[in-house]
Each structure stands twice: as C-alpha cells, then as structure tokens.
Structure 1
C-alpha cells in the first residue's frame, strides 16, 4: 500500500473486514432493518404533469387556470362513447346507442348535464318531445326503418356539428359508417375515473361494440403502468442476473451471498427513498436494474480477485486482504465516477429527472458500501466456516485464467496495441467524428404516449401468467382510433397569456396588431389570425346591440373597429350586457390580465408552432407568454435536451477532474485519469450516433443515458487501469502488465458486462416505451464500454507508458 490518506483509510477498512467480519455483517443487518421501515412510506407519482413544473409555459398555464373561467375551470366533465360497428347508423345501431345512454341516465351516482349523439338527434327530430334517452329509444323502436334512415341522412347532410360524430368513412349514399361518437357530460363534482368505470359497465351491459374514453382513462393507466412494469421487469432482471451469477460464481453459496447483497442494496436505496419522501415515478423503474447490475459488477470483481489469491496459495484472510487492498481503491474510484454520472442529472430543471439522479446516486453509494464491505466480510465468515467441513467448493477458478477462452482472447487488445497503438487511436478518433456527425440527427420528444403502453402489447406481456398479467390498456389504441377515424372539428389551440393594464388606450390595438399577418402555423382569417379574445367578445356584442356598437364606434379613433380610448367605459358596458358572462373568460376583474386563444394548424410541427407563437407574443406591448399543451410539451422537450447536454458536459468534466486528482494522489500521474477518459469519450459519441440509426430520440428517460454511460462505462476502464498500474508498479513492463490485467481483471469485466447487460436488457421488457428505449441504449453503452476498454484503452496505456513514464513529457 502507498502512503496516501485514501490508501491508509482503505487499508484500515480492509483490516476490519478480515479481522472483524462478524461485526461488519451484524452492523449491515441492523442498518438494513432501519431502512426497511421506509419501504412502506414510498408514494408513487405518475404521469407527465410533474415534468412541466417550473417550465415557463406551465407557469403561465397555471395563471390562466387560476384567473379565467369557465374555459379553463370547467364545471363539467365528460366521457365519449365510441360505437364501433358497421351498423352504427342503422336503426338497430341507433337503438343500442340510446340503450347505453339510458343505462347511464339511470345511474344515481352520475349527474348527467347533457348528451350529444346522432341517435338522440334523430329521435328528437322525429319526435321533439322525446327528451330522455329512454323516450328517444322508444321513438326509434316505433318508427319505420326507412324513416329513421332518411332522417339520419338529412341531419348529417345539414348539421356539420352532428356529422363530426360520425366516422370519416360515412357514406351519404348508403347512410353507413363504421363508428360514431356520443359525448356525455357530467356535473363537475363527478370524478372522471368513477364516470369512466360506470360508463364502461353500462356499455358492457348492452349489445354492440362500445369503447369508453375520457380524461380519467389516462390517469387510471398512468397509475397502473408502474406496478405492471415492475411486475415484469423485476422477475426478469432477477432471473437474468441469477443466470449470469451462476456462470460467474459457479458456487451456490457465493451465489446466495451475491443475491443477499443485492437485496440489501435495494432495501437501503428504496428505504431511503421512502424515509426522505422522494416519490416513485416511472423513471424510478430503471433504478433497481441499474443498481443490481453495478452491484453484480462489484461482486464479480471481488470474488474473482479473491479467487486469484486463493488459487495462488493464500489463506482466507490473506486472500481477502490482498483483494480488498486492490479492489477497495478501484471500487471507490468506480463509485465516485458513477455517482458523478448519475448525479449530473441533478442539475436538470425537471423534477423527476432530478429525483432519479438523487436516488440513483445514493443507490451507488450504498452499492459500494454493501459490496465493498458487507460482501467481503460475509465471504470471509462463510469460507472460514466452510474450512474443515465437508461442504465442497464448487468453483474456485477465476474468470479469464490462463488457458481459458477468455484468457486467450482478451489480451488481443494489448497485442494489437503494442504493434500499432497510434493507428488504433486514429481509428477511434475517426469513429468518434463520424458518430458525432450522426448525432446531429437525434430528435427530442415529450408526450403522454411516452409513458403509456403501445397500442399493441407484445406477446410476452399479454400471455404473462397469473400475477404477472398486466391490466388492460386502451388509451393509446383509442386515441389513435379517434385520430384516424374522426375529424376533430377543431384546430389545435394555443393560448397567449397577457399581463398589463388592459384599460390603457393601446391595449386592444396591441392584441389586434399582434394577430396581423400571422406566421404559417397560425390559421389566418382574412389576413388576421383566427383567434378568440376580449376583442371577439366586443365584436360579437356590437353585432347584436346597436347601442353598444355606437359606444365602440365613439371610442374607436382609428376607425378599424377596435376601441382605443376610454376602454374602461367599453368594459363596463360589456359586463352589463348579455355578453357579460363571456367577459370573464378573457378579462380579469382587475383588468390587468387577459388571454388570447389562437387556432393553429393541427398538422404543424410543435417546435414550429412554439417558435411562431413566441414571435407573435413578442409583438405585444405587454408581457405575453404563449401556453397550452403544445407549448408546454415543447418547452419540456427543450429542457430535456438542455438537461442531456448539461449533464453530459458536467459528468465528463467532473469525472476527468476526479480521476486526475485520484491518480495524482495514488500514483503521482494525473495523466492516467485522462487515459481513462479516452474510451469513455468514444463510447458516448458512438452511443449518440447510434440513436438516430435506431430511431430513438432524447426523451425524459433517454436524456439521462449519456451521463449515466460515463458513470457506468468508466468502471470498465478504471478496473483495467487500476490493475494495470498495480502490475506496472510491481516491476512488469507495460505490455506484460496489460496481458496480466486483461486475463485477470478482463475476465471479471466480461462477466460483469454480461450481468450489466442483463439488467439493462430487462428494461426492454417494460411496457412503458421510454423504459424500453432506455434499456436498449444502456445495453449498447455497456457493450461499447467493455469493448473499448479492452481495445482502445490498452494502446492508450502503452502510449502513456512511452510518452509519460519513459520520456516524462507529461505529469
């Protein structure tokens, strides 16, 4: 051991492990019992709302929701009944539709405010006095079929609003459509989820193919998708890791010890989460597989290095002492860089990403403690207990030993590196440059659908047995069906929230000028943006009220129909008119806030819409902020991209500094830290370059993968470098040091790569799309990190030996 404080500290820990293993194990078990109390306090937080907190557009939307009504504080809720049947518009189909409505009307817990349906309109046209679904159903039953069909055709031809309730394949000649919509509105006091459930029961009681859709549906599915994903991912990751551990350890006792350490790590991490009150979101599903993979990596290195010493003839204490002397330093470095990689996400402006970074970072610290202290101490206890007994040692040979397949293959990186180290690094540089060029094509997205299952669940999900079987998910399929089969009848909307004294003479003129000659994504009406505002309320009332029109004319200096003086008088008169109630929709009582709702092209790119609306908002003479779902989600997408880049730069910088300081303290060479970073930089570039090739964008989950790749991937290069320098300091030259390293530590790296790969691949089984994408990227990053640590790092270290050690060109 060296003389640094870090080495002395780790040496004392190693001594504690070998001399007092029972005390160490007992202490960890007691702490585990404490953390276990926090598991029951974990609360879930699902959906996309928490991502928008702090986004300026969301803050503006919150202001709009608070200040204006009823448009943003509606006192009704609704469900849609989707009738999917080629005979939906036949008399029989209309009758079935009304039967469902009658079933809903009879439910005492549903306070129905009104219903819009083709069936109801047809019945009331035939018999105007039929005002209830039951009466309307009786009308359809008693009316000749040809009259019902004729009335249906006439209404759909004359009433555009009613025609929107029929699917786009409606044929006027045949009078048939494959689907219809019925909108049922409830009193706002009725919970949407409860209304959804009761509507589904009513629909299932009537013949016909009915689907119920409401805002409550997405909330229900957000709530269940976390538990369903965990039910699939956790067993999968346990089975995969169990398989890999069995191959790596080849000893059932070591296998059980490794599983116990993994269990303690998870209990500590999520017990801590519950105790401090961090909510469990969809992103947290990725934490257990990641921690298990990192823990297995530590465990394999610990057992493998210990076995190397035992095979060489060392006893239990001596073997573990030698292993911990070397590995505790390596584990500390790996844990530090991994914490930096995970923790870099704490700088994100999005709460769920910050929470993910915090929990994952704490989990890595716990992983270091459990696998760096508890597992070696428990291994010493078990092996001492096994000595002198008939309990066999099933597998004692280390991975990658001489004569093994790994032992022959892994040193190839050192051989090639000795022959052409500069050529290898030039090749790596070219690959990095090419991957960087591809990386410019990565998109950034954020949408509700990212957090919900796809329209068609894979077979392994739908066929899952018993407790693993997921809930039924219909939101994505239904929303796609509605988009494909029905005209919305409305364009998308964006709201501009305006703050300023609206009685100022130029206030309304400012709104009018901002909407003049609108950009391409904003729908135009005669050269003016199609919008609703306090101006449209004034214009509407002026058309109905001559006295009010005269007042507006008197206050209009420019003659363009927009009052531009003494606006307080205009507002007073408007509030006292029949349009008074609508005034509150667009102007606050203190007349310091207003909103303007613009219609935008439904097929336009969200980023273009946001850019155009920001340009229009800049034309206001007051503070104006665009908001609405399109703007909010695009704002979140921008923050996601910024978080990805910021976290990446921070992780790269802090990791490089950390490694340089550590290696300067330990070995006197800060440049070893830079050598460590070479394969990591190539890995990150290759990973981002792979994303557009696979069609994977930056989203709330994948945005974290770049900094995490640094944290997880640097472990491979750290283990190689640390073992290399130990062998190098023992008197071997660079090449021999690398051969020994790649045969010993390289074998452990191969085993840990497979287990980490198993943990990452298990996330691909999650039914949440972004977790599957994250699992794919993590798997790729793990493979890249391993391959580059045994191909690019060896020539880097040989060049380090040549230029730093032999020629002393760098410190």
Structure 2
C-alpha cells in the first residue's frame, strides 16, 4: 500500500470539503464554539505560589506532619490571620493597649469568626490576670496595670517560647523593648467555608487594620492567595490589551485588508474560547503559568493565519480564481500545518510527563490549544476567507491590498534570500561553523541555574515605573505581600535550618542515645558547631537545659544515665512525665509529641551552603537514624522542587527533540522519499536551543517554575519555521533545477510569511515582559528570544544544510555506480 498516495488522497478529500462546502464548515465551527464556550464558566483559579508545586512531595508531607504535631511559637495555617506590628517599642503599655483595641474590633464582628488571639498583648494580660479570656478583658487588665508591672511581666515571660516567638529578633528583656510583634488570630470557620471565604475574612481584617492608629498589617494564607490572584488578573489586564494591539497592528501590516484582519481576529478569539472552554470542562485550574497559554496560542495562530492568507495571495497572483487558489494553497500548506501541529504538540505536550501539577497542566492545556489552533486556522479560516471573498465580489467591496508580504523583487525578499545566496559557496564550512558555535553555546548554557523561590510568584515590592504611567483602567492594585514577607524575614527570620522528622517509640531504652549518635561527624553543611559538631535543637537539648536549671530533674536524669553523658538511656517514660509536667513543657512539646511516638530534630545550616548541598546532607543524616526518619524543612522542600524542575526541563526537552526528529524523518521518508530531510529540519532548532541556553546563563536567568518549560516549548514553537521552510522547499525542489534555486524561491516567498510571523510572535509573547510577576516577565523575554533565534536559524542554518543534503543525496547513487564495476 502506498502511504504517500493514501495521505495525499485524504488531504485532497479534506481540502475538497473545505473549498466546496465552506458554509457548512463555518456553521459547524460556530456550533462547536458555542458548546465549548459553556466551559468558560467552569474555569477556576488554582492554588498559587509555592504550595501548588510542593503539594504531595514526601518532604512537604513530613513538614506538614511536623507543623501539625509540634507546638510552634508562630506557625500560620489556613484558619489563622497574623497581625504584624512595627513600632519603636511594641511592649509599652500604650502600644499594647492600642493592639488589643484592634482585637476588640475584630472580635465584635461575627462575620470574622474570631476564636482566640495569641500575641504579646494577650500573653502579658493573661500573665497579669489568668481569668482574662476576651479582648475586652485583656484591655481592661492592661489599663489597670502600671508600666512597671507590665515591664516585670515581660521579664517573667522571657523564657516562654510562645511569647518570645511572637517578638522580633531584637527583643531585649532587660530594656523591655522590641521593634515588631506578631499576634495570631484564630478563626473557627463553618465547615462549609473554603479558601475563598477565608480570603474574604482576612481582607476585612486588613481593612480594620488599615484604619487603626498604628503600623500594623494583616497576613495569612487568604491574603497571600488573594494577592497572587490579583497579580494574575492584573497581569492579564496589562498584557492582553498590549498583545492584542500588537497583533492587530501586525495583522494590519501583514494582511493590509480590514476584512482579512477581522477574519484573523475572529479565528484567534475562537482559539482562546475553545482552549479555555476545554480547560473548564476538564477541571484544570487556572494558575500563573496558564497566563502564557493564550499568548502562545495567539502567536501560533497568527503564524498559521499569515501563512494561509499569504499563500492564497501568491496563488491568486499566478492567475488562479478564489476557489482554485485556495485549493492549491491549502493543498500545499495542509501537510505543513499538520507537521507543525504534531511537532508543536510534542514540544508543548512534553511537559505532561512532569510530576509537578502546574507544569503538567500547562502541558495539557497548551497541547490541546495547539490542536484547536490547527483546526480553526487550517479548516475554518480558509472556508471563511472563501465565503467573505465571494460576498465581497457580489456586494462590490473593493480589495485593499492582496499582494504577498514578500517577493523576489522586493527588498525584504532579497534580504531573506541573502543567506541562501551565500550558502552556495561554502555550505560545509557554514554548517561546521554553526555546529561549533552551537556546541560552545550549549556547553556554556549547560551551567544555567535552577531556582524556586517565593519571589518568582509574588508581585515585586516596588512596581516598575511604567505601571505609574498606565491609565486607571489598567493600573494594578496595591500589593503588600512581598513587603510583609520581607519584614517577617528581617524582623523574625532565623538562620536556615533543616528538620529530621522521626517516627518510632521514643520510650524505648537507648532511643535518645540513638538520636544523639546520628550527630557524630555530621556532613559539612550541618557541621556548624564548635569543633565541627552539629548544632541542634531537640528533646535532648530541652532535657539538658531543664536539668541545668532544676536539681531534682538533674538527679532523675543522672539515675537513669548509665554512661554518664547527660542523656538518660532507661526509664524514659518517667523522665518524660516529669519533663512534660514541668515549666519546660512548652519547649518539650516543640520536639516530642505527648504520645512519645514522633519527634523532630532541628539542625542549623551553614549559611554558605547551597540548597542542593543542604538537602543532600539532610538526606544523608536521616539515613543514620535507626527509626524511620525523613529530612524536611523549607530548604529541603524547595531543593526537592528544584530537582523536579530541572528533571522536567531535561526530560521534556529530550522527549520533544526525539519525538520531533523521529516524526519528521518518518513523514519525509513516507511522503517524499527524503527521510534525511527530517534530520536537516531539526538542525536549526538544535542550534537555536543552544543559543537560548547560552543567552539564559549570560542574562543570569534560571530554570524556574515556568521557564523550565521553555526548552520543550521552544521546540514546539520554533520547529514551525523550519517545517514551513522545508515543506515549501520540497514543493519548489520538484520544479527547480537544484536545491539552491528552490531555496531562493522558498525564502523570497515563504520567507516573507515567516518574517511577519516572527515579528508578531516575538512582540506578542515578549509583551509578557510587562507582566507584574517575575515568573511571567522572564518567560516572555525567553520565548521572544526563542522565536527570534528559530526564525534566524531557519534562514541561516537551513539553506547550507539543505545544500549538503542535496550533495549527499546525489553522491550516493553516483558512488555506488562507480563502485559496482570494480566489485564485479
């Protein structure tokens, strides 16, 4: 069976349906658009920030267990709001009373569901009056107390971890001063409430705080999620109008006909409706990464639209009438469109293999969007063009400009064909030079870093200057989250640490000895203590500290310490009972649960060690414990995500390149009997990727939650330029006298469409650089660079590679013919 003939017949039948029954095609696509538009109402906002990437990771699960099982001085969760204060001294009587008045107002609102509050003011009031339990009683207690009594109470609480943990690092119990404090408000929300309701509660608290006569701000998961969503909305509101204006401008330049421009815009809108309708029906959440999807689809859609309209005009210039011109243009482009669509699906869809849900969802959405783009621009747009041209002829609407973008007589056509003109003299040297340059840039770019930080997702503390020049309709809202997090880090931040989460029976003899033995000869990133020892906090450090302060407890420990090293190794149940009943109970509960089945050990980390080094050291240390041990902590979790990001980037790139190359070799082999052209087709994109990686490292950009997808996406977007050029070359090669002549005709014709597509795509996707969040900014810059490199390589690297292909193709049969007589 002749596969090429079968494919050709199938394409002719599909093409006949488009050109012979265009109105039926239009009606079908309009109906499909109405159906898919129903899914737009189901598009929901997904979890933003780091949480969307860390959910389900073993290290994150262990960290969640730690936060749930052990008391923390300050540990926010989904049902708390933190009130963060700054002042010259937050521990004066007047300052404490003003803080409690804010709590009173929050408590008076039933819709804020306040349950309890814990902070310096409440803890001091409770110490003064143990019966006080409401904000009003706290205020009355503080008002009755003298400044001297308050200062004395602060000194009494200086060893209380909940009290000291709610004060800034500069807390001085001697002078009774601190420059910042945190008061945690707990909410008892109805079971039917979710994150949206919590956001509403925290937004209302933020409004109350703003009206208070003190420097205070509300902070919590709801406000964080709210600002991340707001930044997404603001980014879309800022970027999309600019993208649309740029696309409209270049559509006008490329089409130079208002009716064709309108058709192109309709097709673009349909593409967005189809894609986001699918997202809604599929239940895929809309995240920050998804903002790149409409921009990418608009870019690819414009590419398809320019090619079909430009090729149609080329055929009409040759004298064909509308239907026959479209039949010829569509017949030639349909195979190229299918190849581009399949390779783009490989590039975009390669991200589906990622184990990180946001990246996987981006791969699914963009891959489906590319398929929709092909259907709309490959089937609907040609049909709509025929119908509107027919209607225009009957009504008598004149044509404005139906010339192709470039020709061999135009300056643009000659400029685009110049690399092909040069290539004929030394194609081998040029290809070798490109290979060498690509290898150097690739080697340099292999050192590109990986990052995963809160700052990637959050709006910057200081918005760019251009934002202030925007009209009120486009001006973004007020962002406080980054400033608040910086304040928390400056005032309350501790040195980096990792945690080992332990599960077992800690009442068994030698359980504590085994815990301490794991610290012998710690890995370098954890050897920060004197003499290269580990610096830890655990139930052992609490036990030793209390023994130093309490002679009776010290005697109990000594009686049960067989090797006299200060760590009891028998009768641990009794030791724990006494410890947990003492004044050190609060500290003990930070490191050992009351059922004595789980514990945590906190290790201080070398400040100069990288996240990867710390994570490796923590995992190595966890293996030393005889009980079940899991390395966790923010540093370990972020390092785990960074590893997955890098893994996703490399695997996605490998899958995209291998599948694309195999598909192109197969297609050109089956359809054209020229399989080696598939390899030639991939050559420009490989050089482009090397240039992109080198540029990323030079600009100091790293592979993060979104830019990690850029490598595989670059294959999907960039291969289109090589495919269109190669496919047109094949058509011209069969009519021309050689590869050079065919390539000259190709670049003066298809090259013009490629140039127009490159401009629209580069500026359209580059508009993401104006987004609010750094995540989208860098992605916009990189995708614009990727498209530019892909276009340049399609006209610089492809011509000499094609000339070499022709020499190899001609050399084979001739050499065999010369060798055959000698063999005989």
- Answer yes or no: same fold by TM over 0.5: yes
Corresponding position: 1:669 with 2:674:
yes
Closer, same or farther in 2 for the Cα pair 1:681/1:808, shift >3 Å? farther
State the alpha-carbon separation in 2 of the partners of residues 123 and 545 from structure 1: 25
Q: Is the 8 A contact 2:45 2:286 kept in 1?
A: yes
Under a length normalisation based on structure 2, what TM-score does the superposition of the two structures give?
0.87
Alignment check: 8 A CA contact 1:656 1:673 kept: yes
Report the counterpart of residue 182 of structure 2 in structure 1.
Answer: 183
| Stretch moving more, 218-227 or 57-66 | 57-66
Query: CA shift at 1:763, angstroms?
Result: 1.2
Shift of 1:404: 1.8
User: Which SS does the other structure have where 2:85 is aligned?
Assistant: strand
Structure 1 runs not aligned, ≥5 long: none
| Structure 2 counterpart of 1:265 | 271
Cα distance in 1 for partners of 2:641, 2:563 equals 42
The structure-2 alpha-carbon separation of the partners of 1:589 and 1:87, relative to structure 1 and needing over 3 Å to count, comes to: closer
Total equivalences in the alignment? 798
**1:451 maps onto 2:450 in alignment:** no
Q: For residues 510 and 277 of structure 2, what CA distance do their matches in structure 1 show?
A: 59
Residue 482 of structure 1: CA displacement? Answer: 4.4
Shift of 1:560: 2.0
- Equivalent pair of 1:37/1:271 in contact (CA under 8 Å): yes
Shift of residue 354 of structure 1? 0.6
Alignment of 1:53 onto 2:55: yes
1:704 to 706, 709, 717: 709
Match of 1:79 among 79, 82, 107: 82
How far the C-alpha of 1:122 sits from its partner, in A, is: 12
1:419 counterpart SS class: coil
Q: Among residues 217, 225, 241, which one is paired with 2:247 in the alignment?
A: 241
The aligned counterpart of 1:369 is 375
Specify the SS of the correspondent of 2:630.
Answer: strand
Give 2:631's match in structure 1, choosing from 607, 626, 631.
Answer: 626
Deviations 1:552-595 (A, max 9, x none): 44543333233335656656776777877876654567755433
- Cα distance change of structure 1 residues 517 and 92 upon mapping to structure 2, 3 Å threshold: same
SS in 2 for 1:453: coil
**Cα distance between partner residues in 2 of 1:583 and 1:181:** 26
> What 5-or-longer segments of structure 2 have no aligned partner?
190-196, 817-824
Which of residues 764, 768, 771 in structure 1 aligns to 2:776? 771
Report the 3-state secondary structure (helix = DSSP H, G, I; strand = E; otherwise coil) of the residue aligned with 1:441.
coil
Equivalent runs, 1:568-583 vs 2, <5 Å: none
> Which residue in the other structure is 1:255 paired with?
261
SS class of match (1:529): coil
Summarize the Cα distance change of 1:547–1:808 in structure 2 as closer, same or farther, 3 Å threshold.
farther
* Alpha-carbon distance in 1 for matches of 2:343, 2:543: 63
CA, structure 1 residues 809+567, in 2 after alignment: closer, same or farther (shift >3 Å)? Answer: farther
Q: Which residue of 1 aligns with 2:737?
A: 732
Does the aligned pair in 2 maintain the 1:607–1:634 contact within 8 Å? yes
Instruction: Report what 1:480 is aligned to.
Output: 486
Q: 1:104 to 1:81 in 2, by over 3 A?
A: farther
Instruction: State the distance in 2 between where 1:299 and 1:167 align.
Output: 59
RMSD value over aligned CA atoms?
A: 3.9
Q: Is the 8 A contact 2:97 2:121 kept in 1?
A: no
**1:226 maps to 2:228:** no
Partners of 2:702 and 2:687 in 1: CA distance: 20
Task: Give how far 1:21 is off.
Answer: 0.9
Mapped contact 1:516–1:527 kept (Cα < 8 A):
no
- CA distance 1:223–1:705, change in 2 (3 Å): same
Alignment of 1:387-786 (within 5 A): 387-484=393-490, 486=491, 488=493, 490-502=494-506, 504-522=508-526, 523-524=528-529, 529-536=534-541, 538-539=543-544, 552-565=557-570, 586-587=591-592, 593-601=598-606, 604-786=609-791
Does residue 287 of structure 1 match 2:293?
yes
Deviation of 1:81 after TM superposition, in Å, equals 3.1
Please say if residues 803 and 810 of structure 1, whose CA atoms lie closer than 8 Å, have aligned partners that are also in contact: no
Q: Which residue in 1 is equivalent to 2:38? A: 37
Deviations, residues 210-232 of structure 1 (Å, cap 9, x unaligned): 44444443122123222222212
Tell me by how many angstroms 1:100 deviates: 4.8
- Distance in structure 1 (CA, Å) of the matches to 2:425 and 2:78: 77
The answer on whether the counterparts of 2:166 and 2:183 sit within 8 Å (CA) in structure 1 is: no
Deviation string 1:700-720 (CA, Å, 9 cap, x unpaired) is 100000001011101000111
Whole-Å separation in 2 of the counterparts to 1:192 and 1:163? 28
Q: Distance in 1 between matches of 2:492 and 2:71?
A: 27
Asked if the contact 2:525–2:606 (Cα under 8 Å) also holds between the matched residues in 1, the reply is: yes
CA distance in 1, matches of 2:310, 2:778: 32
* CA contact 2:97–2:139 (8 Å) conserved in 1: no
Q: 2:319 aligns with which of 300, 313, 316?
A: 313
Moved more, 235-244 or 526-535: 526-535
1:385–1:202 distance in 2 versus 1, CA, 3 Å = closer
- Residue in structure 1 matched with residue 343 of structure 2 by the alignment: 337
